[in-house]
Structure 1
């Protein structure tokens, strides 16, 4: 079941939250929508769910138009499930009752699932690894267990489209990493199309088949995690996802002359879009530091942070702070005068 958005716009009064969104969500894929707060990603997810109407454009789910400027099919009439940021569990229901609820009331639950709801509850409890917690109430569960219940309730009816709105943001860092694996495993088991909204680059890069990067209500780039990370097409994607340092200058053929200096760097895989803007983007791990400052772009080390297998340096280069990651064997001191260059 594919989901298609054609020229979708959204207005809240005089404020335009989304501009001409065109996107196809492929059957069975894990699609992450990534962007900073206020970029429109949650609004887009709520429109897919049916909680928000469109101001223009068309949304199709399984070859059916579910939203346009004239109509919007309500959430309960779309074969869609949603996992919320805050778990949204009912305190008076046990874990098993949470999973059984959609099997009883969701019109898209198959006859077989309805007739064998107890068996399906057991299957889902096994999938989310909570078989021994079926009779527990939410107050007796940890944060990770609550999120598993939320996921179990969402997959109980075997929906074709599963929407997730920053589902891990309420969890601590270690538990978020564990839950990433759980969500990936659920995707493999259910084969549902997943649309996963997040502002966390690590989550999107780790889990998604494709990533949609959004900024100020517009799509900046769509691609695989590798394409987004290694080949950003815009300045925003380069800095937001790759955490790249941007240098201004002039491109001539395969060489880049840095603005305000005589230093020239060779191309290490820049996209044509960035070249056309006369920009050179270097991710922190793409930069070499040395004490040799002859014919180099030079600066002073401001800070050094130990990160286990590497050091993170900030270097002041003519008033611009450049962030660099180097192996633990490359040790420099705060205050050192150093030269930097791309790692080929």
Structure 2
């Protein structure tokens, strides 16, 4: 299913939850909507689901208008599936009954699925690894198994659009990693368009074809995970997505000179967005800085804190330009005074 939002806004009283959002999602695309609490991402999802009507603007699905001010096609007519943060399983239904429910009750369920209900349920159970659990009740399942049931129920009627609202936030770290792989596999197998709401930038970077970064009801940047990570367009995106250090200095065309390093450093920055050039800043990810012993050419700093993380060390280093967060794969731990310089691999 393709999706298009044209100048969509949503107000609750005087509060503006969404502000003139324009967004296009291609058929079969996996889009993550990323942002902090209160940025409007869940409101956007509810508008796509049909639970809310836009205050202004229009929403199209497969080029058919489904919502505008005062009008919205109801959720049951949109051919969507939803996965919630809290699983929302019914305590009186076993696993098989959860999957059967949307097949029998969704008006948009294709006829070939209704005619071959038993075989289709078996296929879905196999797809999510629950073939041996069809008679289990929700209270007899682990957290990961419950999440798989929620996923299976959402895709059982072959929706054209799958909406996911923070589906992994209640799981522990190891289980979240496992479920990321499950969701990616399901997306490949079904070809369904996915809109995945999250505040976890790791999830968005790992799974999505494109990421929509939101702040205060507006879209800050849309791009592939690589684009969002390597070429942030604003200070908010740079700091919110995997964090970034902001060096201050002067730009001359595409060359940046950090403050205090006029005679020693020049950083090439063709990839850096115009916002940072006009603001006299250079965004640097924690893994894009090379550390060396003190008195080498570069920004002089002092180690404030260091944590060993197995494959690398995580440093907090104080310089005249503020505190830096740096990931260094050095095989030894640097002490006290150090020098910082950009790794020229971009």
TM range (shorter): over 0.9
The CA distance in 2 between the partners of 1:86 and 1:45, in whole Å, is: 16
Gaps of at least 5 residues in structure 2 are none
CA shift for structure 1 position 337? 1.4
The correspondence of residues 38-53 of structure 1 with structure 2, limited to 5 A, is 38-53=38-53
CA shift for structure 1 position 143? 0.4
Paired residue for 2:278, among 257, 276, 279?
A: 276
User: Conserved in 2, the CA contact under 8 Å of 1:230 and 1:242?
Assistant: no
Larger deviation, residues 188-197 vs 324-333: 324-333
SS in 2 for 1:23: strand
CA shift for structure 1 position 277? 2.4
The correspondence of residues 141-180 of structure 1 with structure 2, limited to 5 A, is 141-180=141-180
Number of residue equivalences = 342
SS in 1 for 2:72: coil
Is the aligned partner of 1:285 residue 2:287? Answer: yes
The CA distance in 2 between the partners of 1:196 and 1:56, in whole Å, is: 23
TM-score if structure 1 supplies the norm length?
0.96
The correspondence of residues 225-244 of structure 1 with structure 2, limited to 5 A, is 225-244=225-244
Deviations 1:250-304 (A, max 9, x none): 2012322324653643124323332232210110011111123254321210111
What is the aligned partner in structure 1 of residue 93 from structure 2? 93
TM-score if structure 2 supplies the norm length?
0.96
Is the aligned partner of 1:320 residue 2:334? Answer: no
Paired residue for 1:310, among 309, 312, 326?
A: 312
CA shift for structure 1 position 128? 0.6
Larger deviation, residues 252-261 vs 76-85: 252-261
User: Conserved in 2, the CA contact under 8 Å of 1:308 and 1:328?
Assistant: no
SS in 2 for 1:104: helix
User: Conserved in 1, the CA contact under 8 Å of 2:289 and 2:342?
Assistant: yes
The CA distance in 1 between the partners of 2:126 and 2:298, in whole Å, is: 59
Gaps of at least 5 residues in structure 1 are none
The correspondence of residues 319-338 of structure 1 with structure 2, limited to 5 A, is 320-333=322-335, 336-338=336-338
What is the aligned partner in structure 1 of residue 110 from structure 2? 110
Is the aligned partner of 1:182 residue 2:182? Answer: yes
Indicate the RMSD between aligned Cα atoms, in angstroms: 1.4
What is the aligned partner in structure 2 of residue 69 from structure 1? 69
What is the aligned partner in structure 1 of residue 126 from structure 2? 126
Deviations 1:127-163 (A, max 9, x none): 1110000000000000000000000000001000000
User: Conserved in 1, the CA contact under 8 Å of 2:294 and 2:300?
Assistant: no
User: Conserved in 2, the CA contact under 8 Å of 1:33 and 1:211?
Assistant: yes
What is the aligned partner in structure 1 of residue 266 from structure 2? 265
SS in 2 for 1:232: coil
Deviations 1:211-235 (A, max 9, x none): 1111111111111111111111111
